[in-house]
Amino acid sequence: MVTTETTSPPTLPQIIQGGMGIGVSNWRLANAVSRLGQLGVVSGTVIDTVLVRRLQDGDPGGHMRRALAHFPIPGIADELLRRYFLPEGRAPGAPYHLLPMYKQVVSSARQRVTVAAGFVETWLAREGHENDVGMNLLTKVQMPNLPTLYGAMLAGVATVIMGAGIPREIPGALDALASHRKATLRFDVEGLARDDAEWLTFDPAEIWPEGTLPATPLRRPHFYPVVSAVSLAATLARKSNGRVDGFVVEGPTAGGHNAPPRGAMQLDALGQPIYGERDAVDLVKLAELGLPFWVAGGVGTPDGLCAARAAGAAGIQVGTLFAFCDESGLAPDIKQETLRGVLSGTVEVRTDPRASPTGYPFKVVQLPGHEQDAAERERICDLGYLREAVKRDDGRMIYRCAAEPVNTYMQKGGTFCDTDGRRCLCNGLLADVGLAQERDGHVEPPLVTSGDDLASLAHFASPEGYTAGEVLEWLLHGTLVATA
């Protein structure tokens, strides 16, 4: 367990390796980047399922078990291994054993898995060097966030980066968790009466055996929300319930989810959201807030770094270039297929306003072989991380996802229109990193995301691949080690 009472003054990296879920920015990638002196970031999104699936696949290399052996809360590592570790891996075609889906209140055993998973990913990213490591989480995937953060903090995470929502209450939660106190977030629930509020709570005291809760505080990580407007940055800086230490300012060309355009949504001929001048962030105004910031989205070039720094940024956050490098969690065949497509000019990225059940635009790489599989996929919701909570008139809380079977969604009060075009990000993104669920001979198809700038890999990547170190070398010094 990593403890420190005060937070050391930040040494600001020029490059933040973007947090990429699910499992794309894994411990291996973050470790490689941090080792080289920039900020490596693990994704904490759905990390509990990632951990139990790696264990069910036999934990090749023993990394999960090595990290679990350092988990400070007694009994939990053994419990996890007993329940999920299959030394020989799954039998061919056998489905993964699923964790119970998150709800407002879950069992302590369920929370323990999530805490352990946040710990394991961070611990491995920090192994063998002294440099800082960050964790990225999506504000919208609310329910597992507190236990994931606590696990990451037990492993000494230095920075927490959160977008896809307005994480105003995370600074206070980090303060509470650093002193092993109960942390609380206002739970986003549809259908609440005006004066009604629901809460998500996580209390470390409930997972440490009685009498063992540590007295020494944990390191309180720096907190960088991801913003796409100065007004949001200003609100977060002034009205959060604790310290905000900087910002990642992300443009609409960035991979993964994007903020919707300002004003009414207008689509181009390909059905993609149209962004305009109002969506550009005034970096001069952002700098006036007096906090460091990193520019993200289509700036992953040596010139992009220089321009960002000239505009007052500490540096840039880069995703796409790292997503397809050797150390990332993407499955090797997906990396190769995408790189080949990029080099031959046959792969495209589409900003899909409908794909994500969150309602946020989401970038989808159009991989020819997989689009058909995805279109034919039978709807099923068995992971549920993107489920929204709805309070019914009778006071009961229900959970629904616009990508679940249409009838089920409508029985829960959802509208047919809402389900149109929605895709199961949970299963699709897990398939991207080699953790696809199999059911009765059907394997979940991947759903690959990247930034608009995917094509720029072409002047960097060779078909054999490239390393995170080569990406850093190029961004920082303009040196191209790998050539096409």
Ligand X SMILES: Cc1cc2nc3c(=O)[nH]c(=O)nc-3n(C[C@H](O)[C@H](O)[C@H](O)COP(=O)(O)O)c2cc1C
Query: For binding to ligand X (CB under 6 A), which residues are involved?
Result: 18-21, 24, 43, 45, 136, 138, 163, 226, 250, 253-256, 296-298, 300, 317-320, 323, 449-451, 453
Determine the Cα–Cα distance for residues 237 and 244; give it in Å rounded to an integer.
6
In the complex, residue closest to ligand X by CB: 319
CB of 119 to ligand X, least distance (A): 19
CB of 412 to ligand X, least distance (A): 26
Secondary structure percentages of the chain, helix, strand, coil, to 5:
35, 15, 50
Residue number, 67 or 164, with CB nearest to ligand X:
164
Residue number, 360 or 399, with CB nearest to ligand X:
360
DSSP string, 87-132: TT-PPTTPPPPPPPPP-SS--HHHHHHHHHHHHHHHHHHHTT--S-
Q: Are 146 and 200 in contact (CB under 8 A)?
A: yes
Determine the Cα–Cα distance for residues 141 and 384; give it in Å rounded to an integer.
10
Tell me which residue of 10, 1, 45, 51 sits closest to 156, measured CA to CA: 1
SS3 484: coil
CB of 212 to ligand X, least distance (A): 33
CB of 296 to ligand X, least distance (A): 4
Residue number, 38 or 59, with CB nearest to ligand X:
38
Residue number, 218 or 249, with CB nearest to ligand X:
249
CB of 222 to ligand X, least distance (A): 16
Residue number, 14 or 43, with CB nearest to ligand X:
43
CB of 58 to ligand X, least distance (A): 26
Tell me which H or E stretch contains 294. Answer: strand 293-296
Can you say whether residue 306 is alpha, beta or left, with left for phi > 0 and alpha for psi between -120 and 50 degrees? Answer: alpha
CB of 36 to ligand X, least distance (A): 17
- The phi and psi torsions of 439 (rounded to 5 degrees) equal -135, 120
Residue number, 151 or 329, with CB nearest to ligand X:
329
CB-neighbour burial class of residue 344 (10 A; exposed 0-12, middle 13-18, buried 19+):
exposed
Bridge partners (DSSP) of residue 442 are: 439
Residue number, 73 or 137, with CB nearest to ligand X:
137
CB-neighbour burial class of residue 141 (10 A; exposed 0-12, middle 13-18, buried 19+):
buried
